[in-house]
Amino acid sequence: MMNKQGILSIVSQQQIAEQIFEIKCQGPLVKSMTNPGQFVHVKVDSYDDLLLRRPLSICDIDLEQEILTMLYRVEGEGTNRLSKKQKWEQVDVLGPLGHGFPVEETEPGEVALLVGGGIGVPPLYYLSKQLKKRGVKVIHVLGFQAKSAVFYEKEFNELGETYITTVDGSHGLQGFVTDAISKYELSFDTLYSCGPNVMLKALTSQFENSRGFLSLEERMGCGIGACLACVCHPTEDPEGTSYKKVCTDGPVFKVGEVVL
């Protein structure tokens, strides 16, 4: 029997880019959050007009102080309400959930390319820290819409080479993450990525034969594998009845493992 539910206290909340917030929460539950790429399922408040929890990635963990950092974009009512919460208010968190990025697939000394798009960037931060600790060389390519949406550039830079792209060219390279990879001729032993589906598809077609891991997003109900809201088809049975659940089999899958 596990206890995966806990009440965490907000120790800080701040806006770090347009519509993007960083929230840090503290509590004993954080002790179990060791795997980058896992996520937590957050009940923003206790009002019943907004029923479901919201899945948010683990962006960073301070195991000693039991602090979980999440970065989120205000999308709709749930994230909007979360952004209004003050220091010392509480949130109900279920987690850690899912299978994260396999750090052990990259040997010390090898190169890992971490590619993030928009609000897919957060889980790469905890991942990068752990890879670096293991002695892996990390390269980051982070894509955003515009300069105003860029966040954590400094933080990633401290861990390794970091290339920023923006769609409108207002910061870094103009274009998509794939443009940066081509332009700077980035090579790697393992690819780790999280971001919008179009980006993951582009990466898959470019690197289908590489060792790579992609983190997917899907609307979730339970977050624990019971409701079947978040299923996808495995590549070997694209039309059949077999399936993978993003919440428990993922959110991280091998490149080519599931139909995007």
Partner 1 sequence: MSRLALKLPGLDLKNPIMPASGCFGFGKEYAQFYDLSKLGAIAIKATTVEARFGNPTPRLAETKSGLLNAIGLQNPGMDKVCSEELPWLDSFDVPILANVAGSEMSDYIEVAEKVSKSSNVTALELNISCPNVKKGGIAFGTVPEVAAELTKEVKRVSQVPVYVKLSPNVADIVSMAKAVEAAGADGLSMINTLLGMRIDLKTKKPILANQAGGLSGPAIKPVAIRMIHQVSQVVNIPIIGMGGIATVDDVIEFFLAGASAVAVGTQNFVDPYICPKLIDELPAKLDEMGVDHISELIGGSWKEVCNIH
Ligand X SMILES: Cc1cc2nc3c(=O)[nH]c(=O)nc-3n(C[C@H](O)[C@H](O)[C@H](O)COP(=O)(O)OP(=O)(O)OC[C@H]3O[C@@H](n4cnc5c(N)ncnc54)[C@H](O)[C@@H]3O)c2cc1C
Ligand Y SMILES: Cc1cc2nc3c(=O)[nH]c(=O)nc-3n(C[C@H](O)[C@H](O)[C@H](O)COP(=O)(O)O)c2cc1C
Contact 142, 177 (CB under 8 A): yes
Q: Is 63 annotated as a binding residue?
A: no
Spell out, one character per residue from 45 to 64, where the chain touches ligand X: x when CB under 6 A holds, - when not: -------x-xxxx-------
Q: Is 94 helix (H, G, I), strand (E, B) or coil?
A: strand
Q: CA separation (Å) from 16 to 46, 152, 248?
A: 26, 8, 30
| Tokens read off for 90 | 């509480």
8 is in an annotated binding site: no
DSSP string, 166-222: ETTSSSSEES-HHHHHHHTT---SEEEEES-HHHHHHHHHHSTTSEEEEE-----SS
Q: Least separation, in Å, of the C-beta of 48 and a second copy?
A: 4
Sheet strands (E) in 58-179: 60-62, 67-73, 90-97, 111-117, 137-144, 161-166, 173-174
Residue 144's binding partner out of ligand X, partner 1, ligand Y, none, with CB under 5 to 8 Å set by partner kind: none
Q: Closest CB to ligand FES belongs to which residue? A: 247
Contact flag: residue 227 with ligand Y (CB under 6 A) = yes
Task: Give the CA count within 13 Å in the CB-facing half-sphere of 114.
Answer: 30
User: Is 56 annotated as a binding-site member?
Assistant: yes
Binding of residue 222 to ligand FES (CB under 6 A)? yes
Which of ligand Y, ligand X, a second copy, none interacts with 48 (beta carbon under 5 to 8 A by kind)? a second copy
- Please report whether residue 86 would count as binding a second copy according to CB under 8 A: no
175 versus 225: smaller Cβ distance to partner 1: 225
- Residues 4-33 touching ligand X, rule: CB under 6 A, are none
**218 touches ligand X by CB under 6 A:** yes
**Closest approach of Cβ 53 to a second copy, in Å?**
16
Site for a second copy in 47-76 (CB under 8 A): 47-49
Residue 198 as a binder of ligand X (CB under 6 A): the answer is no
194 is in an annotated binding site: no
Binding window for a second copy (CB under 8 A); candidates: 29-37, 42-50, 57-65, 124-132: 42-50
Q: Which pair of structure tokens corresponds to residue 68?
A: 């979980």
Handedness of CA 102, 17, 73, 92 (dihedral sign): positive
Q: What is the 3-state secondary structure (H, E, C) of 17-62?
A: ECCEEEEEEECHHHHHCCCCCCEEEEECCCCCCCCCCEEEECCEEE
Residue with the two structure tokens 């996520």 = 39
- Any known ligand binding at 55? yes
Contact call for residue 252 and ligand FES (CB under 6 A): no
State both tokens at 119: 């609000």
Contacting residues toward ligand FES, per CB under 6 A: 220-223, 225-230, 245, 247
Which residues are annotated binding-site positions for FAD?
54-57, 71-73, 78-79
Contacting residues toward ligand Y, per CB under 6 A: 221, 227
Contacting residues toward partner 1, per CB under 8 A: 1-2, 4-5, 43, 48-53, 94, 218-233, 240-241, 243, 248
